[in-house]
């Protein structure tokens, strides 16, 4: 079950929506008493047929044996009331999976309760200790590395990387998705949350993720934040320099004109952001933006096509909405870039 | 006493050298059995008259009541053998001050020993929990903020910020030095180690440092790392965006042509770095590089003057070696910039 109590929308329930897109077959129910009975697909655009229920007990009754905290908020703290709902799930013998900065395993009462009921608590945000500072080895790997970067946070970087990985695998390439955030980790079953690393070691964490998967010919690395977002730009740059990609896909939400969590500062024009990412990558390994991923949610198919054409003309790069139109054109652009 | 066993040179003993420059009156002795009896000033350029002794006991005999770990290595781990020397100092009733990532207070044996002998263990690298994500408020402060930035790590960013602060205070301005690393914290008695912050919160830490001192008219913020250094660039950018300075001083070591800890990658030309810092600051608050601080150690005064002239011509900005020639020209440049 995905716990989204009071927060079932595509901004707040970012983790839940990611799972509904990429592994709906694993989701039994979504818990949010304020939306119970409503149509999940209508609310967030994904998860057709999966019920929204009012209580943890109802979700367990549907067969859920695991509760995933489905919200991802700024600072990563528990929403008031979530501890009580998690306790209920533990008593119903569900394992608990949490991707927030605030940790289940540092909560004595929850740890004791989990022990009593024989369930496991997973804090996916935690980065293991002992990962060294970046040593700048990723750029020497002979494989092909692509990082998704953003015009803001929450713009579809994970989805673009996942869509490209699936398409490359479908075409027979040896491609691997590299998760760098909690939702990606839940979907892929590996990865590390770079935003939880101690900042001195964040590039080292990115480097480790790439070195550990160096045997794959194609790595599609999940981006984080945005190079111009004052709250998270350091995470973005650590990831860019640590993973040393040769290619970038810029991700964008069509309707977004102002940065989230930043007093409504205007987004930079796409062309300026492309230059910024390419410029700042250069001292480590020059990377080139080869395409644009656009979240066109809210538009009709025809409107979305117009918007993609407009963006293609603006930046002279192929653009697509990966979830609506697939990533054929980006795949071709990536193959062309690495061939040439 | 400053513990530098086996590491008494200006690269490895960066913390010790910082203290020898800025508060030599507090230093009773330097401990390094491999350099004992040698001339400290000849070895590292500072600390004239302070003895180098072979043992912790000798330093305590000189009157030391505190041991400061004087080395700052990549990754911040204890040098082999340092635990034993720290234990000896504890038994001689010295407090212990440590700025490494590896913590005294997580070492059960040292904690127990400190309790037994009634001394304190200070881990200055630790950042308190609960500092929120950056909220981008620093840029709205009406005061004047200057950040020192670098062409690499260990190039004199702390010294330039301290020298400017002292000069502004001497001239009667309300100026405050903002330490962001362990040595700066030891010198100033406040500040936070931004490189120890969880990367998601690093900009928030920088912002907090600035907001907490918002009552001062002039803030001189200690820079960290370098925007193009793959291991630390994320720390640098979090600090730049979180503290939102209007002015920057670029710091450089005259003889340095290749980045440290980076397989000998060549340093970018000064002009390119200046453009990079100014470009990447712009989305948050445009900052301008107004001068260059040069560490000219190893040159004669005449050679140093030639080197400064060469750099001034290259980038068309005033340059000085803050420790050799003072910061009058940078002070004038800063005042001019903020006046105009």
* Domain identity same for A192 and A119: no
Per residue in A119-166, pLDDT tens?
999 999 999 988 999 988 999 999 999 999 999 999 999 999 999 999
Residue A307 to chain B, least CA–CA distance (Å): 25
* Domain identity same for B70 and B166: no
- Give the C-alpha separation, A332 to A10, whole Å: 30
| A265 pLDDT more than 90 | no
H or E element in which residue A149 lies: strand A144-150
- What is the model's pLDDT at position B262? 76
* Domain identity same for A146 and A242: yes
Q: Measuring CA to CA, how many Å separate A26 from each of A50, A65, B23, B144?
A: 10, 11, 62, 54
Judged by CB atoms closer than 8 Å, whether chains meet at A195 and B197 is answered as no
- Give the C-alpha separation, A20 to B104, whole Å: 45
Q: Does B76 touch chain A (CB under 8 A)?
A: yes
Task: Report the 10 Å Cβ neighbour count for B238.
Answer: 36
B-chain residue closest to A232, CA distance: B200
Higher pLDDT, B255 or A104: A104
- Residue A318 confidence class, pLDDT cut points 50, 70, 90: very high
- What is the model's pLDDT at position B259? 84
Contact list in A for residue B74 (CB cut-off 8 A) is 133
Q: Does B286 touch chain A (CB under 8 A)?
A: no
- Residue A328 confidence class, pLDDT cut points 50, 70, 90: very high
CATH number of the domain at A29, please: 3.40.50.720
**Domain residue limits at B279:** 138-339
Q: Does B66 touch chain A (CB under 8 A)?
A: no
| Both structure tokens of A184 | 């990606």
- What is the model's pLDDT at position B239? 98
A-chain residue closest to B234, CA distance: A234
Query: Would B103 be classed as within a structural domain?
Result: yes
Q: Give phi and psi for A253, each to the nearest 5.
A: -100, 125
* Domain identity same for B55 and B142: no
Q: How many domains does chain B have?
A: 2
Residue A199 to chain B, least CA–CA distance (Å): 4
Residue B67 to chain A, least CA–CA distance (Å): 25
| A187 pLDDT more than 80 | yes
Per residue in B118-163, pLDDT tens?
999 999 999 998 899 998 899 999 999 999 999 999 999 999 999 9
- Residue A10 confidence class, pLDDT cut points 50, 70, 90: confident
* Domain identity same for A142 and A291: yes
A43: left (phi over 0), alpha (psi -120 to 50) or beta: alpha
What is the number of residues in chain B?
A: 340
- Give the C-alpha separation, A57 to A68, whole Å: 14
* Domain identity same for A208 and A70: no
Contact list in A for residue B284 (CB cut-off 8 A) is 228, 230
- Decide which of A123, A148, A166 is a domain's last residue: A123
- What is the model's pLDDT at position A140? 95
CB interface of B with A, residues 82-111, below 8 Å: 101
Judged by CB atoms closer than 8 Å, whether chains meet at B133 and A232 is answered as yes
* Domain identity same for B87 and B162: no
- Decide which of A123, A156, A176 is a domain's last residue: A123
Residue B246 to chain A, least CA–CA distance (Å): 15
Residue A271 to chain B, least CA–CA distance (Å): 14
* Domain identity same for A163 and A92: no
Judged by CB atoms closer than 8 Å, whether chains meet at A76 and B197 is answered as no
Q: Which of A147, A101, A170 is nearest to A251 (CA)?
A: A147
Query: Would B74 be classed as within a structural domain?
Result: yes
* Domain identity same for B264 and B199: yes
Judged by CB atoms closer than 8 Å, whether chains meet at B135 and A227 is answered as no
Instruction: Give which of B103, B150, B199 to mutate to test A binding, by max A Cβ within 10 Å.
Output: B199
* Domain identity same for A67 and A163: no
Orientation of helix B328-339 relative to helix B157-170, angle to 10°: 80
| A262 pLDDT more than 80 | no
- In sequence order, what E strands does chain B have? 2-3, 30-31, 52-53, 66-69, 95-98, 121-123, 144-150, 175-178, 218-221, 247-253, 288-295, 319-320
Q: Can you list the residues of chain B whose pLDDT is less than 50?
A: none
Secondary structure class of A290 (helix, strand, coil): strand
Q: Which of B180, B268, B199, B217 is nearest to A206 (CA)?
A: B199
- What is the model's pLDDT at position A75? 84
- What is the model's pLDDT at position B264? 75
Query: Would B133 be classed as within a structural domain?
Result: no
- Give the C-alpha separation, B238 to B242, whole Å: 6
- What is the model's pLDDT at position A259? 85
Query: Would B132 be classed as within a structural domain?
Result: no
Q: Measuring CA to CA, how many Å separate A329 from each of A5, A318, A321?
A: 38, 6, 10
- What is the model's pLDDT at position A222? 98
- What is the model's pLDDT at position A74? 83
Q: Does B172 touch chain A (CB under 8 A)?
A: no
Q: What percent of chain A has pLDDT over 70?
A: 100
* Domain identity same for B324 and B180: yes
| A92 pLDDT more than 80 | yes
What is the number of residues in chain A?
A: 340
- What is the model's pLDDT at position B296? 96
CATH number of the domain at B180, please: 3.40.50.300
Query: Would A25 be classed as within a structural domain?
Result: yes
Q: Does B179 touch chain A (CB under 8 A)?
A: no
- What is the model's pLDDT at position A295? 96
Tell me which of A15-24, A192-201, A237-246, B73-82 is least confident: B73-82
- Give the C-alpha separation, A175 to A221, whole Å: 11
A250 exposure class (CB count in 10 Å sphere: 0-12, 13-18, 19+): buried
Q: Does B149 touch chain A (CB under 8 A)?
A: no
**Contact call for residues A90 and A118 (beta carbons, < 8 A):** no
Q: Does B283 touch chain A (CB under 8 A)?
A: yes
Query: Would A128 be classed as within a structural domain?
Result: no
**Contact call for residues B217 and B335 (beta carbons, < 8 A):** no
Contact list in A for residue B235 (CB cut-off 8 A) is 199-200, 234
Residue B262 to chain A, least CA–CA distance (Å): 6
Judged by CB atoms closer than 8 Å, whether chains meet at A241 and B262 is answered as no
Q: Does A213 touch chain B (CB under 8 A)?
A: no
Judged by CB atoms closer than 8 Å, whether chains meet at B228 and A283 is answered as yes
| A264 pLDDT more than 80 | no
Query: Would B131 be classed as within a structural domain?
Result: no
Q: Which of A248, A255, A276, A263 is nearest to A338 (CA)?
A: A248
Q: Does A244 touch chain B (CB under 8 A)?
A: yes
CB interface of B with A, residues 296-335, below 8 Å: none
Q: Measuring CA to CA, how many Å separate B223 from each of A278, A279, B216, B231, B278?
A: 24, 21, 19, 15, 15
* Domain identity same for B173 and B285: yes
Residue A232 to chain B, least CA–CA distance (Å): 6
Find the Cα–Cα–Cα–Cα dihedral A83, A87, A90, A95, rounded to 10°. 0
A-chain residue closest to B131, CA distance: A75
């Amino acid at each position: 079950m995905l716990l989204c109590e009071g927060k079932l929308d595509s901004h707040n329930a970012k983790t839940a929506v990611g799972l509904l897109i990429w592994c709906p077959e694993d989701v039994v129910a979504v818990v949010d008493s304020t939306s119970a009975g409503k149509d999940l697909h209508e609310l967030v655009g994904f998860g057709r047929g999966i019920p929204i229920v009012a209580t943890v007990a109802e979700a367990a009754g549907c067969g859920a044996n695991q509760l995933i905290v489905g919200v991802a908020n700024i600072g990563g703290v528990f929403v008031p009331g979530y501890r009580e709902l998690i306790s209920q799930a533990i008593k119903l013998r569900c394992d608990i999976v949490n991707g927030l900065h605030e940790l289940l395993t540092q909560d004595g009462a929850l740890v004791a309760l989990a022990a009593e009921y024989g369930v496991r608590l997973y804090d996916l945000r935690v980065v293991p200790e002992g990962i060294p500072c970046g040593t700048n080895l990723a750029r020497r790997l002979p494989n092909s590395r692509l990082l998704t970067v953003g015009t803001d946070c929450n713009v579809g970087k994970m989805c673009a990387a996942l869509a490209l990985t699936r398409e490359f695998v479908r075409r027979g390439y040896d491609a691997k998705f590299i998760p760098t955030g909690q939702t990606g980790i839940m979907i892929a079953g590996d990865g590390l949350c770079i935003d939880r690393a101690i900042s001195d070691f964040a590039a080292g964490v990115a480097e480790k993720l790439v070195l550990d998967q160096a045997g794959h010919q194609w790595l599609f690395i999940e981006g984080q934040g945005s190079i111009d977002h004052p709250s998270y730009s350091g995470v973005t740059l650590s990831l860019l320099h640590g993973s040393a990609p040769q290619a970038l896909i810029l991700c964008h939400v069509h309707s977004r004109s102002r940065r989230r969590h930043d007093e409504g500062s205007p987004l930079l024009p796409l062309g300026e952001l492309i230059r910024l990412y390419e410029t700042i990558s250069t001292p480590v390994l020059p990377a080139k933006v080869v395409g644009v991923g656009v979240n066109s949610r809210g538009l009709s198919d025809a409107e979305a096509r117009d918007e993609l054409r407009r963006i293609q003309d603006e930046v002279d790069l192929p653009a697509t909405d990966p979830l609506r139109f697939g990533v054929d054109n980006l795949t071709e652009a990536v193959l062309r870039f690495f061939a040439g």
